[in-house]
Amino acid sequence: MHPSSAPTDLQASIIESLQSAKPTLWAGRGAKEQSTHDISPQQVQEAVLRFERFAPLLMKLFPELTASGGRIDSPLLQVPKMQQALQLPPEAGQLWLKADHSLPVAGSVKARGGVHEVLEYAENIALEHGLLADGDYLLLASDAARSVFAQYQVAVGSTGNLGLSIGVMASALGFKAAVHMSADAKEWKKQRLRARGVQVVEHTGDYAMAVAAGRALAEQDPHCHFVDDEHSLSLLLGYAAAAPHLVAQIKESKRAVDETHPLFVYIPCGVGGAPGGVALGLQQAFGPHVHCFFAEPVQSPCFIVEMLAGASALPGLEAHPSVYELGLNNQTEADGLAVPRASELAADVVRGFLGGVFTVEDETLFRHLYLLKNSEGLNIEPSAAAGFSGPRELLQSAAGQDYLQRQNLLAHLPNATHIVWTTGGLFVPDEEYVKFLQRGAALMAA
Ligand SMILES: *Cc1c(COP(=O)(O)O)cnc(C)c1O
């Protein structure tokens, strides 16, 4: 790093564009660079195996997992009508969608990271107390095991979806559960948690303040495990465990991923744990042939800001800046993405190979939410729509063209697979969803 170097013209123009809250693409070094993070494929594999060990128990605790044998996963769908609605020509490749908006148990991508961290904590406590002496995970549903778990608490700070996933999983196992929520968290999410016996603690500040308050309370209690969205490796590995199954789904779909068949993946980004974990897993599987792009609201581009700070492009700002320091307000309807400061862990993991990060206006989220319903009949929440502007940003912006050129991808675009990760929506109440849809319809008509 060169702390004293001045920003380049390109960096300066990106910062200017971010500050005026316009849709902006920042392109990274890209997949052809080798990543320097030190998370091994074995660590990701351990998370995969943990989910497998717990599958029989999860099937017992959650009847909706019967069909999948206790596996929490989502389909990979080709979405040709949405491709048409987005006016992406066939020469640009094929549009697919990873349907994490339909993930059982938590109704969002948080079912991956959040469930994994609670399972890891439960497994450690069970081992300590000799509850897994004969390796039968179904015994963890017994009264004896539950009365052990009841002595422990799991706490988390969340805008909503992480709280849902942690709260639901922890209370299903018999833990006490507390979710610290920010003022902008949706009322229905609080109600859903309270109905499960989860303690909801409301804070007046933003997401980062809810996390700080929750962390401070948990630190005083040795029987309390605080799930730290900004620093947790367990969360990140839970998200990364999505990759091996996606690799299998891509194979089943007969889509090639190699030198001449690039894979582009567009994932909504809050602190960066979910997209960071997924990108890590995919990078380990596909190496230089996968190009991951994160999507953020124009008022909450914390991950771009973190990437620029790492590249010393923000002189005068501290090393780990928030979006407020650019004069942005972190206000967005995408409540899952309303995060002022990125996870440094996620940033460090992906910095060496990330394709890029782009920002999206709230109005575009509602348009794309509406188009997806209209074209493919799929219901998602606003945060989950952020990835759909990705292909266009990449193909039409100067920074995107530059990336495609640098990575030698222009000639191979007709063979490309574009996967948009839809990250949440299953549990949005109908009356809320109808309002989203009407907003999208009005914007399309305008
Ligand atoms: C949390 C969330 C994300 C992003 O995950 P981070 O780990 O915060 O980056 C994306 N979409 C939805 C719907 C979410 O709830």
In a domain, 409, yes or no: yes
Lookup: tokens for 23? 């849709």
Name the residue of 74, 269, 323 to mutate for ligand 1: max ligand atoms within 8 A of Cβ.
Answer: 269
Q: Whose CA is nearest to atom 1 of ligand 1?
A: 336
Which ligand 1 atom is nearest residue 303's CA?
Answer: 9
* 254 Cα–ligand 1 center, Å: 29
CA end-to-end distance (rounded Å), the chain: 47
Does any ligand 1 atom lie closer than 6 A to the CB of residue 423?
Answer: yes
Closest residue by CA, ligand 1 atom 11: 423
Nearest to 241 by CA among 288, 271, 282, 293: 282
Q: Please spell the DSSP secondary structure of 287-310, one letter per residue.
A: GGGEEEEEEEETT--HHHHHHHHH
For residues 102 and 74, the answer to whether their CB atoms sit within 8 Å is: yes
Which H/E stretch holds residue 271?
none
Residues 364 and 258 in one domain: yes
Flag whether 114 is in a domain: yes
Residues 192 and 216 in one domain: yes
Domain span holding position 211: 58-66+109-235
Residues 174 and 229 in one domain: yes
> Ligand 1 pocket, 384 CB below 6 A?
yes
In a domain, 50, yes or no: no
Same domain, 384 and 406: yes
Burial level of 195, CB count in 10 A (0-12/13-18/19+)? exposed
Give the position, in ligand 1's atom list, of the atom nearest the Cα of 339. 8
Report which DSSP code applies to 259: T
Does some domain include residue 18?
yes
Is 343 a pocket residue for ligand 1 (Cβ < 6 Å)? Answer: no
Asked whether 269 lines ligand 1 (CB < 6 A), one says: yes
Cα distance between residue 142 and residue 33, in whole Å = 49
Ligand 1 near 391 CB (within 6 A): no
Pocket test for ligand 1, best of 110, 335, 357 (most atoms within 8 A of CB): 110
Q: Do both 378 and 293 map to the same domain?
A: yes
17 and 128 in a single domain? The answer is no
Give yes or no for residue 270 CB within 6 A of ligand 1: yes
User: Ligand 1 mean position to 271 CA, how many Å?
Assistant: 7
pLDDT, tens digit only, all 446 positions of the chain: 444 456 677 778 888 999 999 999 999 887 766 656 789 999 999 999 999 999 999 999 999 999 999 999 999 999 999 999 999 999 999 999 999 999 999 999 999 999 999 999 999 999 999 999 889 999 999 999 999 999 999 999 887 889 999 999 999 999 999 999 877 778 888 888 999 889 999 888 777 788 888 888 888 998 999 998 889 999 999 999 999 999 999 999 999 999 999 999 999 999 999 999 999 999 999 999 999 999 999 999 999 999 988 766 666 666 788 999 899 999 999 988 999 999 999 999 999 999 999 999 999 999 999 999 999 999 999 999 999 999 999 999 999 999 999 999 999 999 999 999 999 999 999 999 999 999 999 999 98
Token pair 């040795």 is at which residue? 222
Q: Measured from the CB, is residue 274 less than 6 Å from ligand 1?
A: yes
Instruction: Let me know whether 275 and 300 are in one domain.
Output: yes
230 and 242 inside one domain: no
Query: What are the C-alpha distances in Å from 215 to residues 86, 134, 263, 392?
Result: 42, 35, 38, 40
Distance 335 CA to ligand 1 centre (A): 9
In a domain, 87, yes or no: yes
122, 188: one domain? yes
Tell me the C-alpha distance between 178 and 226, whole Å: 9
Q: Which atom of ligand 1 is nearest to the CA of 239?
A: 7
Listed in sequence order, the residues at least 6 apart from 416 whose beta carbon sits closer than 8 Å to its beta carbon are 92, 93, 94, 261, 262, 263, 264, 409
Tell me how far the alpha carbon of residue 63 lies from the centroid of ligand 1, in angstroms.
25
Where a domain ends, among 193, 219, 235? 235
Q: Are 174 and 117 in contact (CB under 8 A)?
A: no
End residue of a domain, out of 235, 256, 284? 235
pLDDT value at position 3? 43
CB-ligand 1 contact for 268 (6 Å cutoff): yes
Question: Same structural domain for residues 102 and 167?
Answer: no
Atom nearest to 267 CA in ligand 1 = 10
Looking at the structure of the chain, the number of domains it has is 2
Query: Best mutation site among 383, 388, 420, 428 for ligand 1, i.e. most ligand atoms within 8 A of its Cβ?
Result: 383
| Domain identity same for 360 and 416 | yes
Long-range pairs, 214-217, Cβ under 8 A, ≥24: 214/155, 214/156, 214/157, 214/178, 214/180, 215/157, 217/155, 217/178, 217/180
User: Does some domain include residue 370?
Assistant: yes
| CATH, residue 133 | 3.40.50.1100
Beta bridge partners of 263: 290, 417
CA distance readout (Å), 264 to 38, 261, 403: 23, 10, 12
In a domain? residue 3? no
Q: Are residues 153 and 86 in the same domain?
A: no
Domain boundary among 216, 235, 254: 235
- In a domain, residue 145? The reply is yes
